[in-house]
């Protein structure tokens, strides 16, 4: 506790002296009057508008929300669907994929076997799910030699699901080598506007391949049969129309664009991205919704049937109640003469009975032979016949 000495000089005091309660307060200068109000423009800034935040949605590996730049990239799932936007750069540093040898062999049967092994830059495969992808071939670091194109090898396929690929663009220093395969699913392929190269379609039915208008205007047929169709697609004003073409089975080392599409029981639709538009009917909602609509219609019909039967029963019960009341009133109120009058009982309508099935008729039974009465005579030793005694007592 700090205690000041009352007789000590002011400079030695540890705390300033406390003024007395009755000491007069120091007078403060009067405040200046505020300036007069004038209706002029306000200098105050408006409050900042709140920042609109987008609701965050969960993202998975098979359905990313943001675009990804990938190389030597592989996605595989048995049942999950795949969707998203992927930017593929074949020169992006990344470890190679070692699980796509089977797809490489199928590709070699069409374009031939090249002088070097092919590295798959992006692979999207599933067995029962659908694939819906937006792809672009980009170049973060352009190739060293001018005019040289680096191919981007892309594989996509589903066994039972639908596959939809939309390749928006390809960098001028890159090319695309696309392989799409399904067993039972439908394939919708949108090629980039700069696509310049051959296309091979292999199906079991020739009428399962259809082209959209812009793509059909850019293509010309090279070979077609019941199971295979070979086309050549070139953009308007391309210089490839004047160059000599190599055979299809010798284009493995060609750095240009090419596409191989294969399906067994599905359909193929091909168009140009940004130019062709595929108009499809709205989905009906699946099997469960169709079953739900069926049960709903049947339940509505059953409800109407129950309602009509209830009205019929209510009408019959009302008529029966009225007849019974009339009969009881007639029996309880005798005439004035004293003798009871016999009244005719009204006939009460009966509810309709369900038809009865006729009784099955039994087959006629065969007549049974008459039974011989038990005789009290003596049986013969030869034939076992009963000898009845006559009236004289002889056997």
Residue 97 CB coordination number (10 Å): 17
Is 269 part of any domain? Answer: yes
Selection from 69, 176, 91 nearest residue 141 by Cα: 91
Is the separation of the CB atoms in 263 and 182 below 8 Å?
Answer: yes
Torsions phi, psi for 262 (to 5 deg)? -140, 135
Is the separation of the CB atoms in 74 and 123 below 8 Å?
Answer: yes
Bigger pLDDT: 54 vs 59: 59
Number of domains in the chain: 1
- Going by pLDDT thresholds of 50, 70 and 90, the confidence category of residue 83 is very high
Is 169 part of any domain? Answer: yes
Question: Tokens representing 56?
Answer: 């965050």
Bigger pLDDT: 294 vs 46: 294
Distances (CA, A) of 279 to 121, 132, 134: 31, 16, 18
- Going by pLDDT thresholds of 50, 70 and 90, the confidence category of residue 277 is confident
- Going by pLDDT thresholds of 50, 70 and 90, the confidence category of residue 342 is low
* Distance of alpha carbon 91 from alpha carbon 153, whole angstroms: 12
Specify the length of the chain in residues: 395
What domain range includes position 152? 68-276
Q: What is the pLDDT of residue 285?
A: 59
- Going by pLDDT thresholds of 50, 70 and 90, the confidence category of residue 391 is very low
Mean pLDDT for all residues in the chain: 76
- Going by pLDDT thresholds of 50, 70 and 90, the confidence category of residue 193 is very high
* Distance of alpha carbon 129 from alpha carbon 283, whole angstroms: 17
Give burial (CB, 10 Å; 0-12/13-18/19+) of 137: buried
Q: What is the pLDDT of residue 347?
A: 59
Is 153 part of any domain? Answer: yes
Is 80 part of any domain? Answer: yes
- Going by pLDDT thresholds of 50, 70 and 90, the confidence category of residue 182 is very high
- Going by pLDDT thresholds of 50, 70 and 90, the confidence category of residue 86 is very high
Q: What is the pLDDT of residue 189?
A: 93
- The string of DSSP codes covering 272-337 is ETTT-----PPP--HHHHHHHHHHHHHHHHHHHHHHHHHHHHHHHHHHHHHHHHHHHHHHHS--TT
Residue 198: pLDDT over 70? yes
Bigger pLDDT: 141 vs 357: 141
Q: What is the pLDDT of residue 392?
A: 46
Is 77 part of any domain? Answer: yes
Residue 82: pLDDT over 50? yes
Q: What is the pLDDT of residue 131?
A: 93
Query: Mean pLDDT across the stretch 112-130?
Result: 83
Selection from 138, 172, 133, 186 nearest residue 155 by Cα: 133
Lowest pLDDT segment from 25-29, 112-116, 221-225 = 25-29
Is 51 part of any domain? Answer: no
Is 10 part of any domain? Answer: no
Residue 377: pLDDT over 70? no
Is 306 part of any domain? Answer: no
Percentage of residues of the chain with pLDDT beyond 70: 61
Strand ranges, E, within 30-149: 68-70, 73-77, 82-88, 122-126, 131-137
- Strand bridging mode 131-137 / 209-211: unpaired
Q: What is the pLDDT of residue 207?
A: 82
Place of tokens 């392929």: 189
- The string of DSSP codes covering 321-379 is HHHHHHHHHHHHS--TTSSPPP-PPPPPPPPPPPPPPPPPPPPPPPPPPPPPPPP-SEE
Question: Tokens representing 291?
Answer: 């079953």
- Strand bridging mode 209-211 / 174-182: unpaired
Residue 330: pLDDT over 60? yes
The alpha carbon torsion through 275, 281, 287, 292 (nearest 10 deg) reads: 140
User: Tens digits of per-residue pLDDT, 24-44?
Assistant: 666 666 667 767 766 555 555
Lowest pLDDT segment from 213-222, 230-239, 336-345 = 336-345
Residue 188: pLDDT over 90? yes
- Strand bridging mode 82-88 / 68-70: parallel
Q: What is the pLDDT of residue 8?
A: 64
User: Tens digits of per-residue pLDDT, 241-261?
Assistant: 555 567 777 677 788 888 999
Residue 264 in 3-state DSSP?
coil
Alpha carbon distance, N-terminus to C-terminus of the chain: 161
Q: What is the pTM of this model?
A: 0.56
């Amino acid at each position: 506790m700090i205690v000041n000495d009352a007789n000590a000089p002011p400079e030695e005091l540890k705390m300033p002296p406390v003024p007395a309660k009755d000491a007069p307060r120091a007078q403060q200068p009067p405040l200046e009057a505020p300036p007069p109000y004038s209706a002029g423009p306000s200098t105050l800034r408006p409050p900042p508008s709140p920042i609109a935040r987008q609701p965050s949605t969960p993202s998975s590996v098979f359905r990313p929300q943001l675009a990804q730049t990938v190389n030597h990239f592989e996605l595989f799932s048995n049942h999950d669907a795949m969707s998203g936007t992927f930017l593929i750069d074949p020169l992006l540093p990344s470890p190679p994929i070692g699980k796509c040898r089977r797809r490489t062999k199928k590709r070699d049967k069409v374009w031939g076997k090249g002088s070097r092994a092919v590295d798959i830059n992006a692979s999207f495969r599933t067995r029962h799910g659908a694939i819906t992808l937006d792809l672009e071939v980009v170049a973060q670091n352009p190739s060293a030699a001018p005019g040289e194109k680096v191919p981007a090898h892309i594989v996509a396929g589903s066994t039972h699901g639908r596959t939809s690929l939309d390749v928006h663009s390809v960098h001028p220093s890159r090319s695309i080598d696309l392989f799409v395969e399904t067993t039972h699913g439908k394939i919708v392929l949108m090629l980039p506007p700069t696509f310049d190269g051959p296309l091979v379609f292999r199906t079991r039915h020739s009428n399962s391949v259809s082209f959209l208008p812009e793509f059909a205007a850019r293509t010309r047929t090279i070979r077609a049969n019941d199971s295979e169709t070979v086309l050549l697609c070139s953009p308007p004003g391309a210089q490839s129309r004047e160059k000599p073409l190599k055979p299809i089975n010798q284009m493995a080392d060609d750095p240009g664009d090419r596409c191989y599409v294969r399906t067994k029981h599905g359909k193929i639709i091909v168009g140009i991205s940004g130019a062709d538009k595929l108009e499809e009917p709205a989905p009906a909602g699946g099997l469960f919704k169709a079953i739900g609509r069926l049960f709903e219609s049947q339940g509505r019909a059953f409800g109407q049937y129950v309602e009509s039967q209830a009205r019929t029963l209510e009408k019959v019960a009302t008529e029966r109640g009225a007849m019974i009341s009339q009969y009881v009133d007639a029996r309880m109120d005798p005439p004035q003469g004293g003798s009871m009058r016999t009244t005719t009982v009204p006939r009460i309508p009966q509810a309709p009975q369900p038809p009865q099935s006729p009784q099955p008729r039994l087959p006629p039974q065969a007549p049974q032979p008459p039974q011989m009465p038990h005789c009290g005579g003596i049986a013969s030793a030869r034939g076992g016949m009963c000898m009845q005694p006559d009236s004289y007592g002889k056997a």
